[in-house]
């Protein structure tokens, strides 16, 4: 299978290119940028072998559609929505890392992202690419909406509790902390070194654009409304998201039921590791990997369930999950190219 990455100079696009260049079943064709005279790819993927012939090239729609079967869009939102339909019409499998096809209702883009969706008719057919929930649908997808990084950490932490209806759906707090690469390579004051280093704070409290995505997908798992309070924070680290979820268990639910729901949900999942009781994840254990690590605790005095998940935002939160989705869709082993992410 021949694949290309559009936006290969971005943080997630470069990670994607790096993973695909080591993938056993695909050949990488175009790695694109808007630069007319592209820089060396080594500036973006330092670990690339000397012998690799990979290079960046200016984006050219006809060239990519002629040389690729799978097109990964690693672009800012709206830019991806404008391109996806064109590649779909050429029969390509499109895997979009941006938010452009994650929400089912075009009106939510206006409300949460502040733009009128350029291709609303594609929203219905897009498959939300969280393998732990939608594996069957991903197998037959033509357009995969790769989940957001915060939603990946939150949804994997909550899925077992929501699916088995073990907690109160109206009282859930999602407290998440992300490394600065979550904001991408583009310049912004908030993610400059002097703002981030030795600093820590919340932002977009209760108004982050990933909130409707999380509620939409939790509603899908629950088959009823789920409301969350979401508070994101910016950590002075390069990569990783640690999410702590607080919820109240239903009165008759035991601690053993809570733990067993996680083992049942994830025992066979290749990329979710449920830690032993009283063990909790750290960023270091997932950085550079496609794993989501999860630790669970139940506070018997208050009935509160605490779930902590950790992912690498650029891998399970973006590029690794995109490759996992491609593997599922094309019938490759699900962990192909993802077993060792140096
Ligand atoms: N960073 C994360 O942790 C993360 C996680 C999950 C999802 N995402 C999503 O993935 C997408 C990429 O994120 P990122 O963090 O990798 O961003 P980034 O580092 O800012 O990279 C954006 C890429 O898009 C290209 N680009 C920028 N503006 C463009 C435009 N108007 N038209 C075409 N190409 C354009 C840039 O390339 P040139 O300037 O070289 O052309 C660059 O390769 C975003 O939609 C983001 O929300 C990011």
**pLDDT tens-place string over residues 22-74:** 999 999 999 999 999 999 999 999 988 888 899 999 999 999 999 999 999 99
Give the residue, by CA position, lying nearest to ligand 1 atom 30.
79
For the chain, list the domains and their CATH numbers: 2-147+316-330 (3.40.50.720), 150-313 (3.30.360.10)
Q: Which two tokens stand for residue 110?
A: 């206006």
Coil, strand, or helix at residue 82? helix
- Closest approach atom of ligand 1 to CA 8: 43
Question: Judging by DSSP bridges, how do beta strands 2-6 and 27-33 pair with one another?
Answer: parallel
Q: Is 77 in the pocket of ligand 1 (CB under 6 A)?
A: yes
149 is catalytic: yes
Q: Which two tokens stand for residue 240?
A: 């990783």
Q: Is 336 in the pocket of ligand 1 (CB under 6 A)?
A: no
CA of 74 to the centre of ligand 1 (A): 5
Neighbours of 191 (CB within 10 A): 17
Pocket-testing residue among 4, 7, 44, 80, ligand 1, by greatest number of atoms within 8 A of Cβ: 7
Q: Is 129 in the pocket of ligand 1 (CB under 6 A)?
A: no
**pLDDT reported for residue 50:** 86
**Residue 312 pLDDT > 70:** yes
Q: Is 9 in the pocket of ligand 1 (CB under 6 A)?
A: yes
CA of 191 to the centre of ligand 1 (A): 15
Q: Choose among 37, 45, 41, 104: nearest CA to 319.
A: 45
pLDDT (average), residues 88-95: 98
**pLDDT reported for residue 49:** 86
10 Å CB burial of residue 69 (0-12, 13-18, 19+) is middle
Phi, psi of 73 (to 5 degrees): -105, 115
Phi, psi of 220 (to 5 degrees): -65, -45
CA of 255 to the centre of ligand 1 (A): 42
CA of 315 to the centre of ligand 1 (A): 14
Q: Choose among 56, 36, 37: nearest CA to 45.
A: 56
Choose, from 3, 149, 292, 329, the residue flagged as catalytic: 149
pLDDT, mean over the chain: 96
Q: Angle at CA 80, nearest 5°, toward 76 and 85? A: 175
Cα dist. 123→92, 128, 322 in Å? 17, 10, 18
Helix, strand and coil in the chain, % to nearest 5 = 35, 20, 45
CA of 247 to the centre of ligand 1 (A): 33
- Closest approach atom of ligand 1 to CA 13: 16
Pocket-testing residue among 57, 76, 324, ligand 1, by greatest number of atoms within 8 A of Cβ: 76
Q: Is 97 in the pocket of ligand 1 (CB under 6 A)?
A: yes
**pLDDT tens-place string over residues 185-241:** 999 999 999 999 999 999 999 999 999 999 999 999 999 999 999 999 999 999 999
* Chain CA centroid to CA 244, Å: 17
Give the pLDDT band (50/70/90) at residue 154. very high
């Amino acid at each position: 299978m021949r694949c290309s990455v559009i936006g290969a100079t971005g943080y997630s696009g470069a990670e994607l290119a790096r993973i695909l260049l080591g993938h056993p079943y695909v050949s990488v064709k175009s790695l694109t940028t808007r630069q007319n005279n592209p820089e060396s790819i080594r500036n973006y993927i330092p670990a690339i072998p000397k012998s690799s012939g990979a290079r960046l090239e200016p984006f050219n729609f006809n060239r990519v559609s002629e040389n690729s079967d799978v097109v990964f869009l690693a672009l800012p939102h709206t830019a991806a929505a404008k391109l996806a339909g064109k590649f779909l019409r050429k029969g390509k499998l499109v895997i979009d890392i941006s938010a452009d096809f994650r929400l089912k209702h075009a009106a939510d883009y206006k409300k949460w992202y502040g733009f009128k969706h350029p291709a609303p008719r594609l929203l219905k057919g897009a498959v939300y690419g969280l393998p732990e929930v939608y594996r069957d649908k991903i197998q037959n997808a033509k357009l995969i909406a790769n989940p957001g990084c915060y939603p990946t950490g939150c949804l994997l932490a909550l899925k077992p509790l929501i699916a088995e209806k073990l907690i109160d759906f109206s009282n859930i707090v999602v407290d998440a902390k992300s490394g600065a690469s979550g904001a991408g390579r583009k310049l912004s004051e908030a993610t400059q070194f002097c703002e981030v280093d030795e600093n820590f704070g919340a932002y977009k409290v209760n108004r982050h654009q990933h909130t409707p995505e999380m509620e939409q997908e939790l509603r899908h798992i629950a088959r009823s409304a789920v409301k969350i309070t979401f508070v994101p924070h910016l950590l002075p680290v390069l990569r990783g998201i640690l999410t702590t979820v607080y919820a109240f268990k239903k009165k008759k639910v035991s601690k053993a039921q809570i733990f067993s729901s996680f083992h049942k949900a994830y025992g066979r999942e290749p990329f979710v590791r449920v830690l032993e009781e009283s063990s909790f994840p750290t960023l270091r254990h997932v950085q550079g990997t496609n794993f989501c690590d999860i630790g669970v605790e139940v506070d018997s005095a208050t009935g509160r369930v605490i779930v902590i998940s950790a992912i690498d935002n650029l891998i399970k939160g973006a590029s690794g999950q995109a490759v996992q989705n491609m593997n599922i869709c094309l019938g490759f082993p699900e962990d192909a190219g993802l077993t060792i992410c140096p």
